[in-house]
Amino acid sequence: MAEQLIRLTGVGKSYRKGREVVRVLDGISLEINKGDFVGLMGPSGSGKTTLLNLLGGLDKPTEGVVEVDGRAISALSPGALAKWRSGNIGFVFQFYNLLPVLTAARNVALPLLLTSLPASRRKQHVNTALRLVGLAERASHYPRELSGGQEQRVAIARAIVSDPPILLCDEPTGDLDRATADEIMALLQQLNRDYGKTIVMVTHDPRAASFAHRVLHLDKGELGAAPEATR
Amino acid sequence: MNRFTLVWRNLWRKPIRTVFTMLAVLVVFFLFTVLEGLRGALTLSDISDESQERLLTSHKLSLVMLLPVAYQSRIARLSGVEAVSHASWFAGRYQDNPEFAQYPVVAEEYLALNPEIRLSDAHRQAWLENRGGAIVGRPVATQYGWQVGDRVPIRSSIWTRANGSNVWEFEIEGIFDDIDGGVNAGVMLLHYDYFDEARAFSNGTVGWYVSKGDGSLPLEDLMAAIDAEFENSPTETKTNTEAAFAKEYAQQFGNIGLIVTLILTAVVFMILLVTGHTMAQSVRERIHEMGVLKTLGFTSGSIFRLTVLEGLLLVLPVGILAMALGWGGLAFLSGALGALFPAGLGIGTRSVLMGLALMLAISLGSVLPPVIRALRLDIIALLRTA
Ligand SMILES: Nc1ncnc2c1ncn2[C@@H]1O[C@H](COP(=O)(O)OP(=O)(O)OP(=O)(O)O)[C@@H](O)[C@H]1O
Ligand SMILES: [Mg+2]
C-alpha cells in the first residue's frame, strides 16, 4: 500500500463578512498518497482555490487539521509555515505569477534565495529546472518576451527548482489554448511519473483532469465522488 | 542572482520614474548643502574665545559715528585695562567688486590685540616699514589674485584724500591667515597714521576702540567703567564684547537665514511628497508580487527589509553624491567670493548629519507606510489583488 502524504480531517473554512459568516468549506476529510496525481473539479466559487491554499499552508482552516507528512501544518506559526512551504510545496498558478522585472532564470532562482546553497549550485539547479521544462534557451528572456505557455513552463520550473515533494496547481492550463495546455499537462505528468511529485491540480477542463489518477469533486464546500461523466 | 539583484531590479522597475525621482533628490540635496553653507556663513556660528574677551567701544549712537583719537589714552588709564587700540571703517572696494572691510589701525597694537592673525615675521616687518603698505586676509588675496608687492587701488565711499581723489593706492606687504576664521579673516589692514594724514576731513578721529582687560575686573564691570568715563561728554560711548557686536552685525542677515530655512523646509517637504508618491505607487504595483514571494516562502520580514533597502537605494547614494557636489560648489564659491565669505564656505558635521537624517526620513517616510499597509494583508488577500 502506498505511503500517505496529505491528510485532511474535518476541515472547514468560513469567512466573516461583516455580520455574515460565509461558509466556504465544510467537513472535508481527504487523504492523498505519495506520488498521487489528484484532480480537483467543481463549479466556480465552490472552494477549490480555498482548499488548495489550505493544503499549501497559505491559509488556515477555521476547524479541522491539515497534516502533511505527519505534521499538522495548520498549527504552525507564519514564519515556520513560510519555511515549510519553501521546502515542501511548489505552486503553479493560472496566471503564472512571474515577477516582470526578472528574467526567466532569475524567476526560477527566486525560491533558491531562501536556501543556503552557494551561487554555483543555485545556477546548476536553475539550469536543470529550465532544461526539464524545455526552456533552457530562454533563460535570459523577460516574462513579457515569452508566450503564455512558455511563461507557465517557467512558473513550473520555479515550482520544482528546490525539489519539493508536492506541486499544487490552480488551473494551470486555464489561460492556454488546447495544444499548449496539452504540453503543460504532459510536463506535469512527467513530473509526477518520472520525478515522483505528488500533484494536486484544480481544473475546469475535463481534458486536463483526465491526466489525473483520480478526480475529486467539490460542490458548495463539500467533497463528493466523481460523477460518471468525467471518469 | 541574489537578494540584491531582486532589490536592484525592483528599483529600476520603471526606469524613467526612478531617474526623475533621483534627479529630484539630487537637486534637493545639492541645494540643501549650498543653502546650509550660506546659512552657516551668514549666521556666524562659531565665535572665537578671543572675540568673547575683546571689548569694542563705539559711539553710543552708531558704529559708523566717529570717536576722538584722544580717547585711547583715557581708556588705557582705566584700571583693569591691559591694552587698547583702535580701528576705523574705510568702506572701500576694489574695482567693481562689492565693498569689503578695510581697517586703518595702529599696526603693532592691533596685531598684539588680535593674536589669531597669523603673519610671517618678514611680512610683518615689511608692513611696519611701509607707511603706504597694507596686509590682507588670504581669502581676499585669493579672490582678487593679489600678491605681495602688488599696488592695489581701493576706492573709498567715505574718504577722499587731501587732493580730492577717493581712490587710494596701497602696496600689499603681507598676506595673513586668521586661524579660526574669525572677524579679521577677510579684512585688509592699513596704517592709521598714513590714512589720518592723507584724508581730507575728520582728522583725529577713529571708528572704534578695541581693548582687553587684565583680568582684575569682570568684563561687565570693565565695560561699564569705559562707558562711565565718557558719560555726559559730547561723544558718549557704548562698549560690548566683540562677539556681541559681531552677533548684532550678523543679525541683519538673520532674516536671510530664516528665509533659507523656510525654503529648505518647503523643498524637503516637496521632495518627500514626490518620492513618497513614487515609492507608494511602486509598492502598490507589486502587492500581488509580494503575495507571490510569500507563497514561495519569503517572510513578511524579509520582504520588508528588501523594500526598505530599495527605498534607501533610491535616496541615499544620489543624496550623498549631491551633498558632495554641493560641497564642491561651496568650495568654488568661497574661492571666487573670498572677500564676501572670509570665513570660507562649508558645512559642518551637524549639517552633514542633518542631511543624512533627512535622506533617511525621506526614504523611510515614503517606503514604510505603503509596505506596512501591504504586509498587514495575508497572503490570500495579497494574491487576490490584480
Ligand atoms: N478572503 C475571502 N473573504 C470572503 N470570501 C472569500 C474569500 N476568499 C474566498 N471567498 C469566497 O469563498 C468562495 C470560494 O472561493 P474560491 O476562490 O475557493 O472558489 P473557486 O472554487 O476557486 O472558484 P473559481 O473556479 O472561480 O476559481 C467564494 O464564494 C468566494 O467569494
Ligand atoms: Mg479558484
ipTM of the complex: 0.93
Distance of CA A37 to the CA centre of its chain: 11
More confident site: B196 or B279: B196
- Record the pTM: 0.75
Q: What is the average per-residue pLDDT within A17-29?
A: 90
Please tell me the distance in Å from A41's CA to the nearest CA on chain B: 20
The rounded Å distance from CA A48 to ligand 1 centre is: 8
B21 C-beta neighbours (distance < 10 Å), count? 22
Residues of B in contact with A94 (CB under 8 A): none
The rounded Å distance from CA B69 to ligand 1 centre is: 98
Residues of A in contact with B375 (CB under 8 A): none
Backbone angles phi, psi at A27, to 5 degrees: 55, 50
Pocket-testing residue among A11, A20, A24, ligand 1, by greatest number of atoms within 8 A of Cβ: A24
Residues 6+ positions from B64 with CB-CB distance below 8 Å: B89, B207
Instruction: Output the nine-digit C-alpha cell for B343.
Output: 570665513
Residue B130: what residue type? N
Which atom number of ligand 1 is nearest to the Cα of residue A218?
A: 21
Query: Which residue owns the Cα nearest ligand 1 atom 25?
Result: A44
The rounded Å distance from CA A41 to ligand 2 centre is: 10
**CA B174, CA B130: separation in Å to the nearest integer?**
11
Query: Which residue owns the Cα nearest ligand 1 atom 18?
Result: A47
Q: What secondary structure does DSSP assign to B140-205, as a single string? A: HHHHHT--TT-EEEEEESSPPBTTS--EEEEEEEEEEEETT--TTTT-EEEEHHHHHHHBSS-TTE
Rg (CA), chain B: 30
Contact: A109, B1; criterion CB under 8 Å: yes
Pocket-testing residue among A17, A21, A46, ligand 1, by greatest number of atoms within 8 A of Cβ: A46
Contact A62, A221 (CB under 8 A): no
Q: What is the average per-residue pLDDT within A207-224?
A: 90
pLDDT at B332: 86
Q: What is the average per-residue pLDDT within B1-10?
A: 92
Q: Looking at the predicted structure, is the pLDDT value of residue B276 above 50?
A: yes
DSSP assignment letter at B100: B
Pocket-testing residue among A11, A13, A50, ligand 1, by greatest number of atoms within 8 A of Cβ: A50
Q: What is the average per-residue pLDDT within A154-170?
A: 96
**CA B237, CA B235: separation in Å to the nearest integer?**
7
Q: What is the average per-residue pLDDT within A32-46?
A: 95
Q: Looking at the predicted structure, is the pLDDT value of residue B34 above 80?
A: yes
Q: Which of B2, B13, B378 sits opposite A113 (nearest CB)?
A: B2
Give the least confident one: B269-278, B351-360, B369-378. B269-278
Q: Domain limits of chain A?
A: 4-229
Q: Which fold has domain A4-229?
A: Rossmann fold (3.40.50)
Q: Looking at the predicted structure, is the pLDDT value of residue B50 above 90?
A: no
Contact B338, B143 (CB under 8 A): yes
Q: Looking at the predicted structure, is the pLDDT value of residue B305 above 90?
A: yes
Q: What is the average per-residue pLDDT within B101-121?
A: 92
Q: What is the average per-residue pLDDT within B229-258?
A: 81
Residues in chain A whose Cβ is within 8 Å of chain B: 53, 56, 58-59, 78-79, 82-83, 85-87, 91, 97, 99-102, 105-106, 109-114, 119, 122, 126, 158
